[in-house]
Structure 1
Amino acid sequence: MTSTTSGAAYTARHLSVLEGLEAVRKRPGMYIGSTDSRGLMHCLWEIIDNSVDEALAGHCDRIEIVLHADGSVEVSDNGRGIPVDIEPKTGLTGVEVVFTKLHAGGKFGGGSYAASGGLHGVGASVVNALSARLDVDVTRNGKVHRMCFRRGEPGTFDDKGQGRKPDSRFSPFVDGSILAVAAKAKRGLTGTRVRYWADEQIFIAGAKFSYQELADRARQTSFLVPGLTIVVNDLRERPAPLDGEPEKPREEVFFHEGGIAEFADFLAIDPPLTDVWRLQGSGNFTETVPVLDDKGHMVSKETSRVADVDIAVRWGTGYDTTVKSYVNIIATPKGGTHLAGFEQSLLKTLRKNVEANSRKLKAGNDKLDKDDVLAGLTAVVTVRLAEPQFEGQTKEVLGTSAVRSIVSKVVETELNAILTSSKRQEKQQASQLLDKVVAEMKSRISARMHKETQRRKTALESSSLPAKLYDCRKSDLRTSELFIVEGDSAMGTAKAARNSEHQALLPIRGKILNVQKASVGDMLSNTECAAIIQVIGAGSGRSFDIDASRYGKVVIMTDADVDGAHIRTLLLTLFFRYMRPLVDAGNVYAAVPPLHRIEIINSGSKPNEVVYTYSEAELHALVKKLNRSNRRYKEPIQRYKGLGEMDADQLAETTMDPRARTLRRVQIADAAAAEKTFELLMGSDVAPRKEFIVTGADDLDRERIDA
């Protein structure tokens, strides 16, 4: 026993109260997954979900969560309040039954909750068993009822007026439990408040509540239950920042009326290809459940169930997939039968529509794969049903088999209606979606076909690489570099300046396709884009495999003028959109060619000194410094208008020789911010870009424009 009761006060009654909860304390991982921070957060989810179930039943519209400075956590709601009357079978109050009896509560039989996140009846009692102290206040009938527990055992704490503490002196109930009346309440006011201190004997020393996880969960729940307000307040001390100012308590309020359609928009990170489509429906099924008969015997009974399906789907121009699935607003990160039915029907429906339009889409006889359909998809899949069967108390996988066919049928019916709709907007978006999935299919097949050409070939072997590629002789990824050079004019100089052992050259003609605005099919059919993807040899989009890349570095080498900057931006857009792992790994660079070459005249036989500058401001500063020190330089100062104006030794020294060159590594600290920037500069929406240009016009360095 873990209770601190003395031997004299220890009675048989304690055995009846704690016998079930002792199993929880001995094997906590069976109920909460682990005893680290993840398990600690799971306990919190159990208490929060009880309040959310009240909201789902229409009895609660506000939940407040407070992380206290003493390590405790408090969850309160304005729901109906836990029943305080006596439960006839046990002779205990409803509050004590909920918090001390495993597999007890209001989620069985469908009487109080048609659909709920709690269903095993162990959530509150498990949290109670794993808490050093738990206090529950229930407001009902004009009174605030209170009961306290120590490691699952009911009793009273002597806090001595110093506030609630888990180590305060505890006196267990002996003859019978008392649900005390702590205060009076306003007439009509109801609700439940639970505050608990996690037991340090159970949880490891480093376990702590994560504010970010809590805020994310609260935001997610507010999307899933429209009209519910969730307040999260963190009163814990936080490390002071560098300026020494104390951190203020964090508080966030989450409220969303838009439901899962708004949630899908929130989750999406790429520009939209389609609107958010809602796929809604329901289905009936029967299942055999064990119930108690009038004599108290367990018998099997056929029970009719209803599963409501509500799904929000939205495709974007990107290829990343975000799918969130929920059962009665409980997240199922590992999926289950509802997600399997969704993906199965999604693939089946889109395959059917592609086959029906095969000639128009030029799809041939190839079939869509699941990855082709999921590219660019953001979806929120929710189902609601009474007593869902989860795999384990952590509820990460839905196991109710009948849900799969119900979800599949709803998706097939609703999505097919949209894809075959005669409405102008839906018809246009359906066409764009089918174009996208077919382009993804072609990209995948193309990547598979080119897999053999991804290996470097010797001159004696046949090669399907572009004829204009000047490859290097060594294949060591640690040293090999691909220079993408602007224009054929610079190639002559670059060929003489490069080290052919490990530096390859690929010329491009002017400004390539803006892939932010173009479709995947247009990108793949563009000569310059296709050549770059083929030469790098790692595929594109979802099929991109950085381990298959033929070069360790990719260096974009363009002129140091406005046109060169534009070409560099177009190339970076291609890498960001279709070869992002290369950028994330820090393997993409921009060469920094100089703008000016200044030859400083030295007196006597000492050779003249050559200095390169990279901007007009840097040039003016250098000239000013030379004039002040009375040093002469050759005039006119040489200004490079392009890479082709440089001699081979000058290009090697400034841009290509690793011992002397300057390269800028392209990095993405914030992918979401980068996505917005690329969409602003290169996207289809002109108005924001025009505003950006007009706003920044005064900051433009006109000397950089060749006119």
Structure 2
Amino acid sequence: MTTQDYSARHLQVLEGLEAVRKRPGMYVGSTDARGLMHCLWEIIDNAVDEALGGHGDRIEVILHADGSVEVRDRARGIPVDIEPRTGLSGVEVVFTKLHAGGKFGGGSYAASGGLHGVGASVVNALSARLDVEVDRAGKTYGMSFRRGEPGTFADRGTPDPTAPFTPFERSSELAVVGKARRGVTGTRVRYWADPQIFLAQAQFAHDELVARARQTAFLVPGLTMVIRDERRLPGTPGAEGPTEETFAYSGGIAEYAEYLAPDVAVTDVWRLQGTGSFSETVPMLDELGHMVSREVERECEVDVALRWGTGYDTVVRSFVNIITTPKGGTHVAGFEQALMKVFRKQLETNARKLKVGNDKVEKDDILAGLTAVVTVRLPEPQFEGQTKEVLGTSAVRTIVSRTVEKALTERLTSSHRGDKAQASLLLEKVVAEMKSRISARLHKETQRRKNALESSSLPAKLADCRSNDTDRSELFLVEGDSALGTAKLARSSDYQALLPLRGKILNVQKASVQDMLANAECAAIIQVIGAGSGRSFDLDLVRYGKVIIMTDADVDGAHIRTLLLTLFFRYMRPLVEAGRVYAAMPPLHRIEVAGGRGKGREREFLYTYTEAQMRRTVAGLEKKGRTVKQPMQRYKGLGEMDADQLAETTMDPRHRTLRRITLADAARADEVFDLLMGSSVAPRKDFIVESAHDLDRERIDA
């Protein structure tokens, strides 16, 4: 831009937006992919605010192949008339003036997500190009901007952010670029993020966008969200061609809570709703344009959907005017405060029936297995920063707490048969979690690395090791007492400990926490590992560097291994995530190869782990002229091996093979465990029937 082209007009338009370009982190958090996505949320949230007000029922987001992104809605459309104080069109005011928009006066939006009035203008300032089209009154209006400055691009049909740009000199022109059908209104915003601001590797995250669209569709019943990806990026669903996903839900946050829930339900989804009012002093412009402080009355709507499941993971999503608050705030604090108050009162009332004793319930006991969606709607909420991650309006805490306390108490004390049964199950679950926490704490206090003389508090059947070095020590979970005898002779007692298991342990995917703790085998495993269970599990207190499941190489052994992995997955998951759980691989066959001709040729023993490996090995030996003694030994269990064979094949670190159990995809693993081991029989039956044709019948011991 030359000196003669730099006029007062440019100073007027760019004065505020220059601050955004100099300090983008203050407005969008960062200049990486997170900041890029935040810009997109600002535009989408403007469209969602219209839908919240009952204007428009469809929003489309298109990721174009040229790197731009477009948001379309069918709402009222941005005002196109002249704003009297600035003399600019409503479109230009929204996209060039900080702290300007329909969310300040209080007449346009009762509750909205964009409150600071900087969303659209900040996105405009950080874009190499932004095009906006508005359908109103039978006409389509259009305007373009370059880095926040209005003007015209000299492109030829196809929008190009690098095309020659001519800024408006004296006055802006909101051009009429087409006709709109009668009764059709809406806004289309398409922009190219500025490469001068954002990092070169920053890209719009397809999965994050889809998750946000799904979440918004849940929060605004009746709204349809469409995500179209035309970029053909490797690793995305649209890698092979343009892809489109549509989300629309009528059940609201109750359906959202059911969708988020990771476990089997203990209660139905309960909806807790209410309103409250509060007053606050805010600065406002009077008729003369002066800023004065006035006390205004606000109304806060509270809507909470929650349900408890059999697991111990907690999933809580919180929103203010459909804007997600990942770090919580006063609304979440009020919600948790009410939970504590209600449950402590209910447990005190039913102490004798539930056998609570003198123990006190804590927040984690109540939150175990809880899935909740906490939403509040209020005008002009106070957030901590433009990124709106924490709600700061203090009065909301009291309103949410009072609403949840009243509605939840009614549920837990209801005389309705269904509610009464669920309330009873829920209180029993909370008490079981409390007892589990207390039991785990006692384990932590008593289960430290002990030598042989100090191990009196550990199970008598544990054959512990002598070493105090946790990283070096290993715990073998052995199937049956017969295998234990051989394993004792085969192990290195310096660093290898043995815990025998009598048959198949409890299937903890279907059992309650209380049943799991009451099971002798499960309790012994938790006690020996020494780090507690569930939410109170502490990886730093685990007594062994490796936990190795050593079962027979047959169907029963595989079942026992699955049951043990279910226990670890549900109640000691950090141990699996740390890669400290292993499965031993005992051999299936022992091949005796006769000695060859001449002196010094002794018999040789080879071990194989599958039928296919055994056949390949035998064929290879015969091809070399070696003689394989028949019949070959086929191990039916660990007890058939002698100590030397077990040590050489399964326990000696120099020769053994271990399989590390990993959680590459925890969510998928959770689904598989619930399918194979959960309480729902029908999906498991369908899985077995569908997978029957893949079964190798020769692998079944019959």
Query: TM-score of the superposition, structure 1-length normalised?
Result: 0.94
1:179 aligned partner, one-letter code: L
| In 2: Cα distance, 1:370 partner to 1:47 partner | 38
1:68 is matched with which residue: 64, 69, 73?
64
Calculate percent identity across the aligned residue pairs: 73
Of 194, 202, 225, which aligns to 1:207? 202
AA aligned to 1:485 is V
Structure 1 9/594 Cα, relative in aligned 2: closer, same or farther at 3 Å? closer
Q: Which amino acid aligns with 1:596?
A: H
Partner SS for 2:245: strand
Name the structure 2 match of 1:177. 172
Q: Do 1:457 and 1:463's aligned partners in 2 also have CA atoms closer than 8 Å?
A: no
Q: Give the CA deviation at 1:506.
A: 0.5
Q: After the TM superposition, which residues 525-540 of structure 1 pair with which residues of structure 2 at under 5 Å, given as runs?
A: 525-540=518-533
Structure 1 distance, partners of 2:135, 2:111, is 24
User: Are residues 1:385 and 2:378 paired?
Assistant: yes
Q: Which one of the candidate residues 10, 17, 23 is aligned to 1:14?
A: 10
Look up the SS of the partner of 2:178 in the other structure: strand
Give the distance between the partners of 2:614 and 2:12, measured in 1 at CA: 87
Partner of 1:342: 335
Q: Please tell me the residue identity of whatever aligns with 1:101.
A: K
Q: Separation in 2 of the partners of 1:342 and 1:540?
A: 26
CA drift of 1:629 comes to: 6.5
What is the alpha-carbon distance in structure 2 between the residues aligned to residue 223 and residue 297 of structure 1?
Answer: 42
Match of residue 645 from structure 1 = 640
* Match 1:321 to one of 302, 309, 314: 314
Contact in 2 for aligned 1:472/1:503 (Cα 8 Å): yes
| 2:127 aligned with 1:131 | yes
Secondary structure at the aligned position of 2:62 is classed as strand
- Secondary structure of the residue aligned to 1:231 is strand
Which residues of 2 match residues 250-649 of structure 1 at below 5 A? 250-461=243-454, 463-604=456-597, 605=599, 606-619=601-614, 631-649=626-644
| Cα distance in 2 for residues equivalent to 1:391 and 1:359 | 45
Match of 1:659 among 646, 654, 657: 654
One-letter code aligned to 1:90: T
Shift of 1:401: 1.1
Deviation, 1:155, is 2.0
Tell me the equivalent position of 1:79: 75
For 2:54, give the aligned amino acid.
G
User: 1-side partners of 2:223 and 2:149: how far apart?
Assistant: 33
> Using a 3 Å threshold, how does the CA distance of structure 1 residues 20 and 651 change in structure 2: closer, same or farther?
same
SS at match of 2:408: helix
User: 1:88: how far off?
Assistant: 1.7
Task: Note the residue ranges of structure 1 that are not aligned, 5 or more in a row.
Answer: none
* Deviation at residue 297 of structure 1 after TM alignment: 2.3
- Counterpart of 1:654, as a letter, is T
After superposition, where does 1:147-162 map in structure 2 within 5 Å?
147-159=143-155, 161=156
More divergent stretch after superposition (510-519 vs 14-23): 14-23
CA shift, 1:224, in A, is 0.8
> How many equivalent residue pairs?
699
Q: Letter of the 1:28 partner, please give it.
A: P
Secondary structure, counterpart of 2:607 in structure 1: strand
Larger mean CA deviation between 230-239 and 532-541 belongs to 230-239
Return the alpha-carbon distance in structure 2 between the equivalents of residues 630 and 517 of structure 1. Answer: 55
Deviations 1:664-699 (A, max 9, x none): 222222222222222222211223333434444565
8 Å Cα contact 1:485/1:557 also seen in 2: yes
Distance change (3 Å), C-alpha of 1:696 and 1:128? closer
Tell me, yes or no, if the aligned pair for 2:440 and 2:533 is still in contact at 8 Å: yes
**Structure 2 counterpart of 1:82, which letter?**
I
Residue 618 and residue 39 in structure 1: after superposition, are their counterparts in 2 closer, same or farther (change >3 A)? closer
CA contact (8 A) 2:451 2:468 kept: no
Q: What letter matches 2:103 in structure 1?
A: K
**Shift of residue 603, structure 1, vs aligned partner:** 3.6
Give the residue type in structure 1 aligned to 2:300: A
Q: Deviations over 1:347-403 (max 9, x none)?
A: 221222122222222222111111111112111111111111112211111111111
Change (3 A) 1:151 1:452: same
**Partner residue, 1:113:** 109
State the match for 2:231 in structure 1.
236
Deviations 1:50-104 (A, max 9, x none): 1111111111111111222322221111111111111122222111111122211
Q: Which amino acid aligns with 1:559?
A: D
Quick one: distance in 2 between partners of 1:8 and 1:251? 48
SS of residue paired to 2:418: helix
Equivalent position amino acid for 2:160 in 1: K
State how far apart, in whole Å, the 2-side matches of 1:256 and 1:695 are. 31
Secondary structure class of the residue paired with 2:313: coil
Q: For 1:80-95, what aligned pairs fall within 5 Å after superposition?
A: 80-95=76-91
Q: How far apart, in 2, do the equivalents of 1:690 and 1:294 lie?
A: 72
Over 3 Å counting, the alpha-carbon distance change for 1:649 and 1:462 in structure 2 is closer
Change in Cα spacing, 1:693 to 1:186, as seen in structure 2 (3 Å) is: closer
Match of 1:225 in 2: 220
Aligned residue for 1:8, secondary structure, equals coil
Q: In structure 2, the residue corresponding to 1:470 is in which secondary structure?
A: coil
SS state at 2:11 partner? helix
Evaluate the alpha carbon distance shift between residue 42 and residue 620 of structure 1 in structure 2; reply closer, same or farther with a 3 A threshold. closer
Gaps of 5+ in 2: none
- Shifted more, 271-280 versus 571-580: the winner is 271-280
Q: Does the 8 A contact of 2:458 with 2:527 survive in 1?
A: yes
Task: State the match for 1:168 in structure 2.
Answer: 163
Contact 2:301 2:378 in 1 (8 A): yes
* Higher deviation after alignment, 42-51 or 69-78: 69-78
- CA deviation after TM superposition for structure 1 residue 619, in Å: 4.5
Distance 1:689 1:69 in 2: 43
